[in-house]
Amino acid sequence: MKRILYAAAECGPFIKTGGLGSVLASLPGELDKDQYDVRVVIPGYECIDQSWKDQMEYVLTFHMMLGWREQTAVLKKMVHEGVVIYFIENPYYFCGDSPYGDISADVEKFTFFCKAALEMLAYLKFEPDIIHCHDWQSAMIPVFLKGMFSHDPFYSRIKTIMTIHNLKFQGWSDMGRMKDITGLPDEMFGFDCLESFGQANMLKGGLSCADKITTVSKTYAEEIKEPEYGENLDPVLRYRAGDLSGIVNGIDYKVYNPAKDPALKVRYGVKSFASARPANKAELQRRTGLPEGEEYFTLGIVSRLTDQKGFDLFSDIMKEMFDMPVQLYVLGGGQKEYEQLFRKAAEDYPDRVYLQTAYTDEMAKVIYGGCDAVLMPSRFEPCGLCQLMSLRYGAVPVVRETGGLKDTVAVFGESDKPTGFGFTDYQGSAFASAISQAYRVFTEDKELWNEIIARGMRKNYSWKSSCRKYERIYDQLIH
Whole-number pLDDT of residue 408: 98
453-469 pLDDT tens trace: 999 999 999 998 899 99
Q: What percent of the chain has pLDDT over 70?
A: 100
Tell me what the mean pLDDT of segment 313-320 comes to. Answer: 94
Distance from C-alpha of 46 to C-alpha of 289, rounded to nearest angstrom: 38
379-392 pLDDT tens trace: 999 999 999 999 99
Tell me what the mean pLDDT of segment 159-169 comes to. Answer: 97
pTM for this model (two decimals): 0.94
Fold of 273-460: Rossmann fold (3.40.50)
Whole-number pLDDT of residue 465: 84
Tell whether the model's pLDDT for residue 329 goes beyond 90. yes
The CA–CA distances, whole Å, from 452 to 293, 320, 387, 472 equal 22, 25, 14, 33
Distance from C-alpha of 305 to C-alpha of 334, rounded to nearest angstrom: 4
Parallel, antiparallel, or unpaired: how do β-strands 199-201 and 172-173 relate?
antiparallel
Mean pLDDT, the chain, as a whole number? Answer: 97
DSSP category for residue 145: I
Kindly report the number of other CB atoms within 10 A of residue 172's CB atom.
Answer: 18
In which band, very low, low, confident or very high, does the pLDDT at 479 lie, cut at 50, 70 and 90?
A: confident
CATH architecture of the region 2-250+464-478: 3-Layer(aba) Sandwich (3.40)
In which band, very low, low, confident or very high, does the pLDDT at 253 lie, cut at 50, 70 and 90?
A: very high
The CA–CA distances, whole Å, from 76 to 82, 89, 120 equal 16, 8, 11
Tell me what the mean pLDDT of segment 320-332 comes to. Answer: 97
In which band, very low, low, confident or very high, does the pLDDT at 398 lie, cut at 50, 70 and 90?
A: very high
258-295 pLDDT tens trace: 999 999 999 999 999 999 999 999 999 999 999 999 99
Kindly report the number of other CB atoms within 10 A of residue 183's CB atom.
Answer: 15
In which band, very low, low, confident or very high, does the pLDDT at 121 lie, cut at 50, 70 and 90?
A: very high
Whole-number pLDDT of residue 18: 84
51-71 pLDDT tens trace: 999 999 999 999 999 999 999
Q: 2-250+464-478 and 273-460: same fold? A: yes
Q: What percent of the chain has pLDDT over 90?
A: 97
Tell whether the model's pLDDT for residue 446 goes beyond 90. yes
Q: Label residues 51-90 b or e (16+ Cβ within 10 Å = b).
A: eebeebeeeeebeeebbeeebebbbbbbebeebbbbbbbb
In which band, very low, low, confident or very high, does the pLDDT at 148 lie, cut at 50, 70 and 90?
A: very high
Strands of the 69-80 sheet, one edge to the other:
57-66, 69-80, 83-89, 36-43, 2-7, 130-134, 159-164, 212-215, 244-246
Listed in sequence order, the residues at least 6 apart from 364 whose beta carbon sits closer than 8 Å to its beta carbon are 302, 331, 389
What are the residue ranges spanned by the domains of the chain? 2-250+464-478, 273-460
Which among 136, 140, 99, 135 is positioned nearest to 119, based on CA atoms? 140
Tell me what the mean pLDDT of segment 163-185 comes to. Answer: 97
Which among 428, 421, 419 is positioned nearest to 455, based on CA atoms? 419
Whole-number pLDDT of residue 322: 96
In which band, very low, low, confident or very high, does the pLDDT at 222 lie, cut at 50, 70 and 90?
A: very high
